[in-house]
Amino acid sequence: MPEQTDGKLRGEREQFHSRVKAISLALLVSIVLMAAKFYAYRLTDSSAILSDALESIINVVASSFALGSVILAAIPPDENHPYGHGKIEYFSAGFEGAFIILAALGIFKVGVAHIIHPPEISELGWGLLILVGVSIANLLLGIMLIRTGRRTRSLTLIADGKHVMTDVYVTVGVLLGLLMVHLTGWLWLDGTVACLVGINILISGGSLVREAFSGLMNASDPELLEEISELLARHRKDIWIDVHQLRAWSSGNLIHMDFHLILPSNFTLEIAHREGKDLENLIKAHFEGRAGVLIHLDPCTDPDCPICLREKCDLRGNDMEKEIPWSREMLTSQGSAGSRLNLEKENSVLSTLR
């Protein structure tokens, strides 16, 4: 056990250092690329490039928030925060989304003004060359952040990586727009591209705010519930008669869940506790020690007999009728599968009598 604990702590420290290194690099690169974009704007006086540069300010602010939230989220649970400090990541994602929305509104303002009164664009070649370099650097940075975020299970890094990838799409859009200006001489296209960039950024910001709000409100996570359901189905035992009322939510890189487990009613407290502990350890091992599991043990009753897989059972009052697959929909339902099956039969009888 001490070796497992040491290994777990070592793994958590490595993940924390990976997150901090990734987000620190993102902050440094964002500052350099922001300066490059503003220099390109100074050369060209293009509103499209200005819109891209303004969005880069948000990258810097967002990376600063992300760095702080990664450090705070790593603080272990304490008496006042028994579920840890992982929720700070949702605040970070929410602030990032709000800043992106503000940037989009500013870009709209500049873009509309430049559509009405198009400015002269100069040194377009140098501006385009700078933006190409910025796009490549941002692409590599975004891929690195998303991969590190998925590997270390950090919502903050994934959100920041997606934001950086959005910046890549924005810059490519600006490049194409300015290329059209260069080929056609239509200066109003510059402002139009800026407005299109603003729409794209607005959608990205709204998506982040929605995701953060869902996390803070403990919204259901279908992917997490599906993963847990598949795990339980793979390792299902005959004496695990039914699982229902499965709930699960994330807090930073930690996962919390609770559910009801029906066991044979003639099990002693010791045996029932052992089975519950085996299931808890199975889940914790799957999630590499990041899961908190609370299992409510229920004794079986007669309505559970038709779905019970035990071949030899002194308690059986009814024959087994069918095996119920442990799908996400089944495990997250409020009642046991046996009680639902019994209710279906009662409703069928009533409908026949009518």
Give the residue, 354 or 146, on which the prediction is more confident: 146
Rg of the chain (C-alpha set): 28
Q: What is the pLDDT of residue 242?
A: 93
Stretch 190-214: mean pLDDT: 80
Give the residue, 260 or 336, on which the prediction is more confident: 260
Q: Give the torsion through C-alpha atoms of 307, 310, 315, 321, to 10 deg.
A: 30
148-157, 243-252, 336-345: range with lowest mean pLDDT: 336-345
For 88, residues 6+ apart whose C-beta sits below 8 A from its C-beta are: 69, 72, 73, 252
Taking the whole predicted model, whether its pTM rises above 0.75 is answered as: no
Stretch 40-62: mean pLDDT: 80
Indicate the pLDDT class of residue 7, thresholds 50, 70 and 90: low
Stretch 134-161: mean pLDDT: 86
Which tens digits make up the pLDDT trace of 271-285? Answer: 999 999 999 999 999
Closest CA to 282 of 228, 223, 221: 228
Stretch 292-298: mean pLDDT: 94
Alpha-carbon distances, residue 262 vs 175, 230, 301 (angstroms): 61, 18, 9
Residue 185 three-state SS: coil
Q: How far apart are CA 189 and CA 182, in angstroms?
A: 10
Q: How far apart are CA 127 and CA 278, in angstroms?
A: 62
Residue 218 three-state SS: coil
Stretch 82-108: mean pLDDT: 76
Give the residue, 40 or 80, on which the prediction is more confident: 40
CB 295 within 8 Å of CB 259: yes
Stretch 216-244: mean pLDDT: 89
Indicate the pLDDT class of residue 267, thresholds 50, 70 and 90: very high
Q: What are phi and psi of 250, to 5 degrees?
A: -110, 150
Decide if pLDDT at 347 tops 70.
no
Indicate the pLDDT class of residue 96, thresholds 50, 70 and 90: confident
Decide if pLDDT at 245 tops 80.
yes
Stretch 133-143: mean pLDDT: 92
Give the residue, 31 or 14, on which the prediction is more confident: 31
CB 261 within 8 Å of CB 295: yes
Domains of the chain: 2-216 (1.20.1510.10), 222-353 (3.30.70.1350)
Q: How far apart are CA 177 and CA 171, in angstroms?
A: 10
Q: Where are the alpha helices (DSSP H) in 217-336?
A: 222-234, 269-286, 328-331
Closest CA to 56 of 113, 154, 138, 128: 138
Give the residue, 249 or 231, on which the prediction is more confident: 231
Burial class (CB in 10 A: 0-12, 13-18, 19+), 297: middle
Q: How far apart are CA 296 and CA 315, in angstroms?
A: 21
Decide if pLDDT at 258 tops 80.
yes
Max mean pLDDT range (67-76, 99-108, 170-179, 278-287): 278-287
Decide if pLDDT at 6 tops 70.
no
Decide if pLDDT at 3 tops 60.
no
1-5, 108-112, 174-178, 317-321: range with lowest mean pLDDT: 1-5
What percent of the chain is helix, strand and coil (3-state, nearest 5)?
70, 10, 25
